[in-house]
Amino acid sequence: MSASDDQSDVGRVLAGDISAFEGIVRRWQGPLINLAYRFCHDRGRAEEMAQEAFIRAYRALAQWRKDAVFSTWLFALATNLYRSELRRIPASTVPLEDVPEPRDARPSDGGLEDHDRDVTVRRAVGALPAKYREALILFYFHDMDVSTAARSLGLPEGTVKARLSRGREILRSKLPQLLAVPRLKEA
Amino acid sequence: MTRLIKSEDDEMNRILSRKEEILPSSGFAASVMDAVRREAAAPPPIPFPWKRALPVLVAGGFVLVMVFVTLVVAIVQVIKSSATAQFSTSLPSMLAPIFGLQGLQGLQRNLVGAAGWSVLALLVAFISVKLSMRLAASRV
- What values do phi and psi take at A174, rounded to 5? -85, -30
Contact criterion met (CB < 8 Å) for B36 and A55? yes
Closest chain A C-alpha to B138 CA, distance in angstroms = 8
Q: Cα(B47)–Cα(A24) distance, rounded to whole angstroms?
A: 29
Q: Cα(A81)–Cα(A138) distance, rounded to whole angstroms?
A: 14
Judged by a CB distance cut-off of 8 A, whether residue A99 touches chain B is no
| Domains of chain A with bracketed CATH | 3-88 (1.10.1740.10), 96-186 (1.10.10.10)
Q: Cα(A187)–Cα(A173) distance, rounded to whole angstroms?
A: 21
Judged by a CB distance cut-off of 8 A, whether residue A162 touches chain B is no
Judged by a CB distance cut-off of 8 A, whether residue B4 touches chain A is yes
Cβ-based contacts of B16 with chain A (< 8 Å): 121-122, 125, 136, 140
Query: What helix, strand, coil percent values describe chain A, rounded to 5?
Result: 75, 0, 25
With respect to residue B120, please indicate whether it lies within any of the assigned structural domains.
yes
Per-residue model confidence (pLDDT) at position B132: 85
Identify which has the larger pLDDT, B119 or B90.
Answer: B119
The 10s digit of each residue's pLDDT in B24-51 is 999 999 999 999 999 999 887 788 888 8
Q: Which domain holds residue B112?
A: 50-139
Contact criterion met (CB < 8 Å) for B39 and A21? no
Give chain B's domain count.
1
With respect to residue B74, please indicate whether it lies within any of the assigned structural domains.
yes
Judged by a CB distance cut-off of 8 A, whether residue A15 touches chain B is no
Judged by a CB distance cut-off of 8 A, whether residue B38 touches chain A is no
Query: What helix, strand, coil percent values describe chain B, rounded to 5?
Result: 85, 0, 15
With respect to residue B100, please indicate whether it lies within any of the assigned structural domains.
yes
Judged by a CB distance cut-off of 8 A, whether residue A34 touches chain B is yes
Judged by a CB distance cut-off of 8 A, whether residue B39 touches chain A is yes
Over residues A84-90, mean pLDDT: 87
With respect to residue B128, please indicate whether it lies within any of the assigned structural domains.
yes
Over residues A30-55, mean pLDDT: 94
Over residues B83-112, mean pLDDT: 60
With respect to residue B5, please indicate whether it lies within any of the assigned structural domains.
no
**ipTM for this model:** 0.77
The partner residue sitting opposite B15, judged by closest CB among A47, A118, A143, is A118
Contact (Cβ atoms closer than 8 angstroms) between residue A83 and residue A35: no
Closest chain A C-alpha to B20 CA, distance in angstroms = 8
Contact criterion met (CB < 8 Å) for B36 and A179? no
Cβ-based contacts of A42 with chain B (< 8 Å): none
Contact (Cβ atoms closer than 8 angstroms) between residue B107 and residue B79: no
Over residues A11-24, mean pLDDT: 94
Q: Cα(B59)–Cα(B57) distance, rounded to whole angstroms?
A: 5
Q: What contacts 24+ positions apart, CB below 8 Å, involve B26-30?
A: B28/A29, B28/A33, B28/A47, B28/A50, B28/A51, B29/A22, B29/A25, B29/A26, B29/A29
Residue A55 CA: distances (Å) to CA of B27, B29, B34, B47, B65: 16, 12, 10, 20, 43
With respect to residue B32, please indicate whether it lies within any of the assigned structural domains.
no
Identify which has the larger pLDDT, B46 or A34.
Answer: A34
| Torsion-angle region of B131 (φ positive above 0: left; ψ -120 to 50: alpha; else: beta) | alpha
Contact criterion met (CB < 8 Å) for B16 and A181? no
With respect to residue B28, please indicate whether it lies within any of the assigned structural domains.
no
Query: Does the structure show a pLDDT above 50 at B99?
Result: no
Amino acid occupying residue A1? M
Judged by a CB distance cut-off of 8 A, whether residue B28 touches chain A is yes
Over residues A24-40, mean pLDDT: 94
